[in-house]
């Protein structure tokens, strides 16, 4: 399956008033190799195992495989993950015909807020809300796998 998304910094917190939901996410990486990542995630009361391939040249598209796994298995696998573990709150924010996912990072990445929008194809149009800032699609330092290796507080 191909994941097509664009990433942006967030200018302010006005998205919170528009959010339809939010959940805490704890995730770690069993492998953060540049060609592929293997991620373990606990989101709310669910666990997930995800494998992602290398992004294309624009940074918008890459292979993604995700499988829900039992919560206790995900929690156990987190103990095998590389440090530091990513801790964030994800807000689901509807904007026109899309849902933006706004991640508010905590711990070693506190102060970083990134919005992502998934698209059907690379050139798909989307409405840009007023809280959306600079586009950072393809900038590796903003990938969660890179934030687990070099957290925002170390920039």
pLDDT 10s digits, 34-68: 889 999 999 999 999 999 999 888 889 999 999 99
Please give the residue range of the domain that contains residue 10: 2-154
Q: Are 92 and 105 in contact (CB under 8 A)?
A: no
Q: From the candidates 15, 29, 142, 143, which is the catalytic residue?
A: 29
Residue range 99-111: average pLDDT?
A: 97
Q: What is the CATH number of the domain that holds 27?
A: 2.40.320.10
Region of 107 on the Ramachandran plot (φ > 0 left; ψ -120 to 50 alpha; else beta)? left
Q: What pLDDT sits at residue 1? A: 83
Q: How far is CA 31 from CA 5, 88, 110, 116, 143, in A?
A: 22, 20, 23, 22, 14
Q: What pLDDT sits at residue 40? A: 98
pLDDT 10s digits, 10-32: 999 999 999 999 999 999 999 98
Q: What's the domain count of the chain? A: 1
Dihedral pair phi/psi, residue 107, rounded to 5°: 55, -125
pTM of the model: 0.94
Q: Are 47 and 75 in contact (CB under 8 A)?
A: yes
Does residue 29 have an active-site annotation?
yes
């Amino acid at each position: 399956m191909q994941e097509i998304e664009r990433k942006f910094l967030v200018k302010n917190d006005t998205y919170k008033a528009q959010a339809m939901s939010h959940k805490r996410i704890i995730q770690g990486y069993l492998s953060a190799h540049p060609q592929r990542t293997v991620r373990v995630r606990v989101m709310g009361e669910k666990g997930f195992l995800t494998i992602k391939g290398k992004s294309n040249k624009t940074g918008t598209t890459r292979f993604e495989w995700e499988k829900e796994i039992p919560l206790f298995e995900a929690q156990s696998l987190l103990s095998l993950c590389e440090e530091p573990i990513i801790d964030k709150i994800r807000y689901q924010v509807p904007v026109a015909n899309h849902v933006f996912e706004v991640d508010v990072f905590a711990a070693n990445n506190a102060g970083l807020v990134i919005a992502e929008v998934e698209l059907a194809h690379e050139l798909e149009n989307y409405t840009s809300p007023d809280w959306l800032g600079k586009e950072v699609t393809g900038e590796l330092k903003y990938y969660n796998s890179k934030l687990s290796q070099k957290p925002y507080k170390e920039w």
